[in-house]
Each structure stands twice: as C-alpha cells, then as structure tokens.
Structure 1
Amino acid sequence: MTSTTIPSGSFRFPSARSAATVQLHRLRLAWREARPVVQVIFLLRFAAGAALGLTGSAAGAAGRPALLTAALGWLATTWAVYLLNGVADVVEDRANGKARPIARGELSRRSAVRLVGALSVAGLVFAAAVSVTQVLLTAVMLGVGWAYSLGPWPLKANLAGFVAAVTALGLLTYLAGWSAAGGGRLTGPVFFFGLMMSLWMGLGGSTKDLADAEGDRLAGRKTLPVLLGDRRARVVMAIAASSVGWTFTVLCAIRAIGVLPAAAVVLVGSAALSATVLTSSSRGARTAQRRPYRVFMVTQYCAHVVLFCCLGPASPL
C-alpha cells in the first residue's frame, strides 16, 4: 500500500467564520424568497390588530415587551409560510421566469425546508413566551400555510382554496396582533378592519395571477385567468376589488366604525385597481401585467399607514 502525502497547507477545515458566512448567505436568500414586501405588510397587519386592540396608552406601555416578542414570533411564522410556498412553487416560478432564489437554483430546496422547520419552531417558541392563545394562532397559521402549499390537494390549486386560505392568513394575523396586545373584548373596529382587509387580500390579491397564467396552467392550478381566460378574469377581478372598497366604506359610514379614513383609501385603491386591470396599461409584458397587483399592494400599505395616523398614541409603532 502506498501512502499519499498531503502537502502542507493544501487542506484546511472550514472555519467557524466561513460557516457562519454561508449560513448568513442562505438566510438572505431565504428572506428574498419569502418576498420582503409581503413580510413587511404582514407585520403592519399584526401591528394594526395590536393598535386596534389596545384599550389605552397605559395598557399599551405595559404590554410592549410581550408585543415585541409576539411580533418577532409572527415574523418567523410568516417567513416560514412563504418560504415553504417558494419550495412548493418551483415549477410555476421557473415557467413564469421568476427570479426567485429557489427557482434559480441559488437556494436548494433542502436548505429551504430546513430553514422552514427552524423558523416554525422559533415562531412557536416566541409565541409560547407570550400566551397559549398566541401559540394556538401560530399553530393554525402554520397549518393553513402548509395546506395552502402542500398536501394531496393544496389550497393554492383552485380559486376557492386560494381565497379562503389567503383571507384566513390575514384574519389570523390581525387576531394575533389583537391577542398580543392583551386580547380583551373583540371590538367592532378590530373585527371589521381585519375582515375587510383580509378580504382585500383574498380578492384583490388574485391579480397576481394575471402574469402567472402560463406557469399556473402548467402546474394544474385553477386560477381565474386559467378558468375564465384573461379578459373575463379581469372583469371579475375589477368587480371583486370594487365590492370590497364600496362595502368597507359604506358600512363604516353607516355604523360609524372609527376606521373610515382607511376604508376610503381602500375605495380609492379599488377604483385605481379596476381602472388598471381593465385597460391596456396592464397588458403585454410581464411588468405591465403585474401593475394591478402593485396597485393592490400599495393600497394595503397606504390603508395601514392611514390607520396608524388616525390612531395616534394608541399605535404600537
């Protein structure tokens, strides 16, 4: 048997610093995969539920540490949900030419699944430090996220499942914020704002499917553009968005619920979305087809900012 001499300095064990660098790089890719703009709006939804649930500035100040812990846990949870969705959407994402890390092969599915597990555990641990209710809400959120992306009949595969799952993800987030702020009585503004903005998610959010029809059809998903064709799907989207905007505003005005300015923002946003989705400005290249979805997202952000401005000192931000 001959021996092989390894030249001095030709082999080095990976240092702790290099291993940490690799892990940090994977975390950055996982964050990109989970769509930062979506993660931030989930945090705003959580903060809105907390702000509307606070009964006074004293209660708000006393609950700040628990609120921060709950918010970190919820961020880990929504990150896990959307990273899992990226793992499940590889076929569609590649067919639609999306530049997401998993679809491009920058982040392996195995690494992503491991991070999903770690983030899920972190979300539950943070929730356990707050309350049993927070743990239950977190567990249900993870369950809905799994049912949306995976399983024998993933909810994302059909229109009814998509609307139900996305609306549920929104409602759970507002309830989690309300619970983290101390719970108490579920007031009209908490329930109504959370419900209408969650419906805006479920109905207005379907506009993202306009640019993804090719990949969705390839993956067997029954979205509006796949079921109805592009032109009829656009009409249905405009009607759905307008119905949320008008219902939100009219009921706020009639019942004197204190979130009318935010409802007015959604009404204006629904009109802008309808105008965009029904005109040639959202046809053609993929960038143009995503304009209605961008209007949908901007409307969400503006509605929450206006809500926080109206609430003033009660806001946890």
Structure 2
Amino acid sequence: MLALTIFSFRFSGRLLPPLLAPRRLLGILKLLRPLRLLHYAGFAAGGAVMGAAVGEVPLDPYLLFYVTVSALVAFQGAVFLNDIFDAEIDRLAGKKTPFSRGLLGRRGSYALAASISIFSLILVLRCGLASFIFLLAAHVISLAYSTSPVRAKRIYPLNVFLLALAGLAVMVSGFASHASVRLFPLRMLILVVVTLTATFGTKDMTDVEVDRRRGIRTLFTLLGLGKGRWVNAGLVIVSYLLTPLILDYLRLYWAAAPLGVLTAALIVMRGRKKLTQALILTIYILFGLLILGLIAAVEIF
C-alpha cells in the first residue's frame, strides 16, 4: 500500500504544476459530473449499507467514507480515460474538452487518469482486499468500455451491459467492506444488471449526432431519436415496475409506478435535453435513496 501511495503521489507531483494553470484547471473542472458522481457514490454507499444490514453488523462510518470516496475518484478517473480516447473524434465533432483542445498533452493526460485511478485503489484498500478487487474489476471494465482494442462503447447493447457490470462491481466493493461477498443478495445482483442494462442508454439521448460521427452504436443512433425515445421510455417504465417484484417488496410500487411514468414522460417530451437528463437522473437517485433507506431499516433483505 505504501508503494502504491508513493507511486501515485509521484505522478501527482509531476502533474500538479501544469494542471494548476487557470485554463487547464477550469477545463478539468468542467469534466466533473456531479449527478453521475452521486450515482456511483450511491452504489458504493448503498453496498456498504446493505453489507451492514445483511451481515448484521453496525455501519462503520470510516469504511463508508473510504468506499464512497474511492468510488467517486474511480468514476472520475474513468471519465478522464474515456475523454482521452475520444479526444480526436471530439475535436472533429467540435466538442470541447481539455483533451480535444490540446490543453493537456497525451502523456500528461494518461498520467492524470492513471494517478486518479491508482489513488482510488489506495483509498479502497482501507476497506479490505475484497473491496479492492471489486473496485479494480470496475476499472478493468472501464478500460474495456473506453479503450482499444475492445472499445466496447461502440457496440449496443454490450456498452450498456458493461456499464451495468461496472456499477455492480462498485456496489459489491461497498458491500464487501462490511460483509462477505458470498452473502451478496442474488435479487440485488439481478436488479442491478437487468434494470441498468435496460435504462443506461438514456444518457445517450443528448449525443445522437456526435455518437453517429464517432461510429458509436446506441439505442438512439440505431432507431433514431424519435423512435428511440419511445423504446427507451418503455424500457424505463418496465425497469421501475420490475424493481418491487425483484426485491420482493410490493409496497415499493407506491413510488416505483409514478416515478417510472414521470421519467418516461420526460424522455418522450421534446424539451431542453440537458435539463431533462438532470431531472431524469435526479428522480433515479431519489428512488435509489428510498431503496437504500428501506435496506437500512431492514425492510428489504
């Protein structure tokens, strides 16, 4: 662990002076995605809460902190890695990122993504070997998603399936901080893989033309934005309605049904895309927090 820490800080020490240049720092900060950061942090924190409930042990605030922050850092490292490999296509498509604008050289960009990813693994080591292994698995999945030669983000539905697996790996990493991985509920595994694979494509609604230029297949590039909206809305409603059944907690329908219908309505509406995406993600996070609260109260599992 000490060796990893030294390695990460050596990387960071070389990177900090150039990154602190105002234009570069502002460009990097613009790549932060608060709602998506909350999403992945929620997976880690939710896993920890579920581990404490299933393992019948008190929730350790220190382990909760480390596993949550490590997930936040890991996600941002994955975002940087994805944007580095999209830099040339983003430049041609007119999408401005620090990498497509050349504010950071290729070598410095790789070093930034690597140091952030290593730092996330250093943090999660505080939670035990199992948590480390599953967060490492999430990093490997991100590599397969973003980088050559696999670059699975080009292939639908493999791309959304891998994102669902990455989310599951982060959740299991959190769970392992408080309980044996063998106790991880099968119902939660099914819920995460099935519903996230079905609904993760919603995020691609705002990038149809850019994705076409990149040669990336999504639900919307394959079906078109109009038909894609309706199919995506149907998948979202089905996912919300399946959740109480999979969790075997039918009272959850009081929230799942209206939130599913509201989300589907937002998808088919032709409004401001970024605002719509933010509202959809906010509803999803609130629903996740409700499930997390029920798990903490031992109503589920």
TM-score by length of structure 1 reads 0.76
Deviates more, 1:89-98 or 1:76-85: 89-98
Inter-CA distance 266–153: structure 2 relative to 1 (3 Å threshold): farther
Deviates more, 1:99-108 or 1:166-175: 99-108
Check whether the contact 2:66–2:127 (CA below 8 A) recurs between aligned residues. yes
Deviates more, 1:141-150 or 1:73-82: 73-82
Check whether the contact 1:69–1:127 (CA below 8 A) recurs between aligned residues. yes
Deviates more, 1:204-213 or 1:143-152: 204-213
Distance (whole Å) between structure 2 residues aligned to residue 248 and residue 94 of structure 1: 40
Deviation at 1:137, TM superposition (A): 0.7
Distance (whole Å) between structure 2 residues aligned to residue 289 and residue 230 of structure 1: 12
Q: Which residue of 2 aligns with 1:144?
A: 141
What is the root-mean-square deviation of aligned Cα atoms in Å? 3.1
Q: Which residue of 1 aligns with 2:164?
A: 167
Q: Which residue of 1 aligns with 2:277?
A: 293
Structure 1: runs of 5 or more not aligned:
1-18, 283-287
- Residue 271 in structure 1 maps to residue 271 in structure 2: no
Amino acid in structure 2 at the alignment position of 1:214: E
Deviates more, 1:301-310 or 1:144-153: 301-310
Check whether the contact 1:81–1:142 (CA below 8 A) recurs between aligned residues. yes
Which runs of structure 2 are paired with 1:8-27 in the superposition (5 Å)? 22-24=18-20
Distance (whole Å) between structure 1 residues aligned to residue 16 and residue 216 of structure 2: 39
Q: Which residue of 2 aligns with 1:233?
A: 228
Deviates more, 1:237-246 or 1:292-301: 292-301
Amino acid in structure 2 at the alignment position of 1:130: C
Check whether the contact 1:127–1:134 (CA below 8 A) recurs between aligned residues. yes
Structure 2: runs of 5 or more not aligned:
1-14
Q: Which residue of 2 aligns with 1:220?
A: 215
Deviation at 1:41, TM superposition (A): 1.7
Q: Which residue of 2 aligns with 1:7?
A: none
Inter-CA distance 56–220: structure 2 relative to 1 (3 Å threshold): closer
Q: Which residue of 2 aligns with 1:112?
A: 109
Check whether the contact 1:95–1:214 (CA below 8 A) recurs between aligned residues. no
Check whether the contact 1:128–1:134 (CA below 8 A) recurs between aligned residues. yes
Deviation at 1:131, TM superposition (A): 2.0
Distance (whole Å) between structure 1 residues aligned to residue 177 and residue 254 of structure 2: 27
Check whether the contact 1:51–1:178 (CA below 8 A) recurs between aligned residues. yes
Check whether the contact 2:87–2:97 (CA below 8 A) recurs between aligned residues. no
Q: Which residue of 2 aligns with 1:247?
A: 242
Check whether the contact 1:210–1:290 (CA below 8 A) recurs between aligned residues. no
Q: Which residue of 2 aligns with 1:71?
A: 68
Deviates more, 1:46-55 or 1:68-77: 68-77
Q: Which residue of 1 aligns with 2:11?
A: none
Give the number of the structure whose alpha-carbon radius of gyration is greater: 1
Q: Aligned to 1:159, what secondary structure does the other structure show?
A: coil
Deviation at 1:310, TM superposition (A): 3.6
Q: Aligned to 1:129, what secondary structure does the other structure show?
A: helix
Distance (whole Å) between structure 2 residues aligned to residue 266 and residue 29 of structure 1: 38
Which runs of structure 2 are paired with 1:97-108 in the superposition (5 Å)? 98-108=95-105
Which runs of structure 2 are paired with 1:200-219 in the superposition (5 Å)? 200-219=195-214
Deviation at 1:54, TM superposition (A): 0.7
Inter-CA distance 109–205: structure 2 relative to 1 (3 Å threshold): farther
Deviates more, 1:69-78 or 1:92-101: 92-101
Deviation at 1:265, TM superposition (A): 3.9
Which runs of structure 2 are paired with 1:34-183 in the superposition (5 Å)? 34-55=32-53, 59-61=57-59, 63-91=60-88, 93-94=90-91, 98-183=95-180
Q: Which residue of 1 aligns with 2:9?
A: none
Matched length: 283
Distance (whole Å) between structure 1 residues aligned to residue 228 and residue 27 of structure 2: 33
Amino acid in structure 1 at the alignment position of 2:230: V
Q: Which residue of 1 aligns with 2:12?
A: none
Distance (whole Å) between structure 2 residues aligned to residue 300 and residue 141 of structure 1: 21
Inter-CA distance 81–265: structure 2 relative to 1 (3 Å threshold): farther
Paired-residue identity, %: 20
Deviation at 1:77, TM superposition (A): 1.8
